[in-house]
Amino acid sequence: MNRLINALLFLCIGAAVVASFAYLGIDLGQLGDSGNLNRMGAYAQRFLSPDLSPSHLKAIGHGALETIAMSALGTLLAAVFGLVLALPAAGRFGWPMQSASRLILNALRAVPELVWAALMVLAAGLGPNAGTLALALHTTGVLGRLFAEALENTPPEPAEAIRLQGGNAVWAFCYGTLPNLMPQLLAYSLYRWENNIRMASVLGFVGAGGLGQMLYVSLSLFQEAQASTVILAMLLLVLAVDTLSSWSRQRWVKA
């Protein structure tokens, strides 16, 4: 019986795949015919000679710094707001506050960064400011939820001991809860930052600054040579972040 259900499930998955191709009307044969491949090859060839002129490299450097700054500030803002929202979301101020803040966090988290960026471009105009705000909004939702979970899992005894000595709730939190919580909060924030650098490099597609905006503009102007340099820069940025994070994780978090 179990095997039968599993076999049926695989059949369903297969059917879903076939139906998807049929619905989209993608003809892989036509896509792979020689004329089409030739056109795509010719298009790809134009990317093979990246523009490495100093002025363009300088512009890319500026774009990369903008990307990093957007992600760092977005994550920092999100960590602050996330913690502010996580306190009620962990049930510190009673259940009405808890459900309200959970609702806010879920709503912030559910809307993808790029959609937030498109909305923020409408509100704050083109440029990196919109991207920073978009990252901050989405990341607040993500970090707030993670922080609230961490907060619920911290042992309450140290904070209660401070209360028993006559300290108020704020000191109980700062001296009893925060020392245990801090490494976890840092780990979560760094992990999100790593994600956000990746996101920040593409938010520019909707006009929110950074490398993405450069790529979008140069592709729209059919400057493939310039575009390929931007893609290379993105690749380098992502690889650097990956290496750095895996190194720092081995170095700091495991210990």
Residues 106-135 that bind other proteins (CB under 8 A): 110-112, 114-115, 118-119, 122-125, 127-129, 131-133
Closest Cα to residue 86, out of 214, 18, 184, 163? 184
Of 235, 246, 247, 248, the one binding other proteins (CB under 8 A) is: 235
Please state the closest distance from residue 240 (CB atom) to other proteins, in A.
10
Q: Does residue 244 interact with other proteins by CB under 8 A? A: no
Please state the closest distance from residue 98 (CB atom) to other proteins, in A.
21
Please state the closest distance from residue 56 (CB atom) to other proteins, in A.
18
Please state the closest distance from residue 55 (CB atom) to other proteins, in A.
19
Of 52, 80, 103, 253, the one binding other proteins (CB under 8 A) is: 253
Task: Kindly tell me which of 77 and 100 has the beta carbon lying closer to other proteins.
Answer: 77
Q: Does residue 92 interact with other proteins by CB under 8 A? A: no
Please state the closest distance from residue 84 (CB atom) to other proteins, in A.
14
Q: Does residue 173 interact with other proteins by CB under 8 A? A: no
Of 65, 80, 221, 244, the one binding other proteins (CB under 8 A) is: 65
Q: Does residue 242 interact with other proteins by CB under 8 A? A: yes
